[in-house]
């Protein structure tokens, strides 16, 4: 089979044009944002990673970059940094969390950036690493994770639960990118006699 239609080979027409495939995926996902109560998905996280899927080439093997890189950003750049900061913030006065984040950025953000060189996936997936950091911060600070059981009132549990939820939504976003490509993937023309 020839190239995927996004790569310029239009001799294999798409199952669905891109604009309709995007609409189909959005319609399939919207109920997850509205109908699951406290488990509702912050689908904006998934949509950002869906876009990242296309930025990284819209191919199945993008998982080799996104899946290791985004959690690295969530865990090292986000959850570990915020977890340490939340632990000492009460001891630093009115602006304790801000001061704690400033202090611990010296360790965790430096480690995040330095760590990019440790694997090829993190080097190639710098976008995914920093998306992991920023998506975690957005999920955590907006409270866009299920407020359940031991998370409520437990600042450390909330940090790590938000991190887990961010990674889960990101993996779902990668799946949406794959699904979008599957819906548009070209099919061979049939030979006419």
SS3 42: coil
Instruction: Let me know if residue 123 belongs to a domain.
Output: yes
> Of 66, 63, 54, 46, which is closest to residue 18 (Cα–Cα)?
54
Number of domains in the chain: 1
Report the share of the chain in percent with pLDDT over 90.
7
Lookup: tokens for 22: 């995007």
Instruction: Let me know if residue 191 belongs to a domain.
Output: no
Residues with Cβ < 8 Å from 65, sequence gap 6 or more?
56, 121, 124, 125, 128
**What's the pLDDT at 192?**
57
Instruction: Let me know if residue 153 belongs to a domain.
Output: yes
**What's the pLDDT at 135?**
92
Each residue of 33-77: pLDDT tens digit?
A: 888 777 878 888 888 888 888 888 777 888 888 888 889 889 888
Instruction: Let me know if residue 68 belongs to a domain.
Output: yes
Residue 88 C-alpha from the chain's centroid? 28
Instruction: Let me know if residue 121 belongs to a domain.
Output: yes
Instruction: Let me know if residue 65 belongs to a domain.
Output: yes
């Amino acid at each position: 089979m020839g190239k995927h239609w996004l790569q310029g080979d239009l001799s294999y027409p798409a199952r669905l044009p891109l604009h309709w495939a995007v609409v189909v995926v959005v319609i399939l996902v919207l109920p997850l944002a509205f109908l699951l109560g406290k488990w509702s998905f912050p689908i904006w996280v998934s949509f950002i990673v869906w876009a990242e899927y296309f930025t990284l080439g819209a191919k199945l093997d993008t998982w080799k970059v996104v899946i290791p890189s985004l959690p690295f950003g969530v865990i090292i750049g986000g959850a570990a940094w915020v977890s340490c900061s939340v632990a000492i913030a009460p001891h630093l006065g009115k602006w304790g969390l801000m001061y704690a984040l400033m202090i611990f950025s010296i360790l965790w953000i430096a480690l995040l950036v330095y760590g990019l060189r440790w694997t090829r996936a993190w080097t190639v997936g710098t976008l995914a690493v920093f998306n992991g950091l920023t998506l975690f911060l957005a999920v955590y600070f907006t409270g866009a994770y299920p407020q359940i059981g031991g998370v409520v009132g437990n600042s450390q549990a909330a940090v790590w639960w938000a991190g887990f939820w961010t990674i889960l939504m990101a993996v779902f976003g990668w799946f949406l990118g794959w699904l979008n490509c599957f819906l548009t993937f070209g099919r061979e023309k049939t030979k006419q006699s």
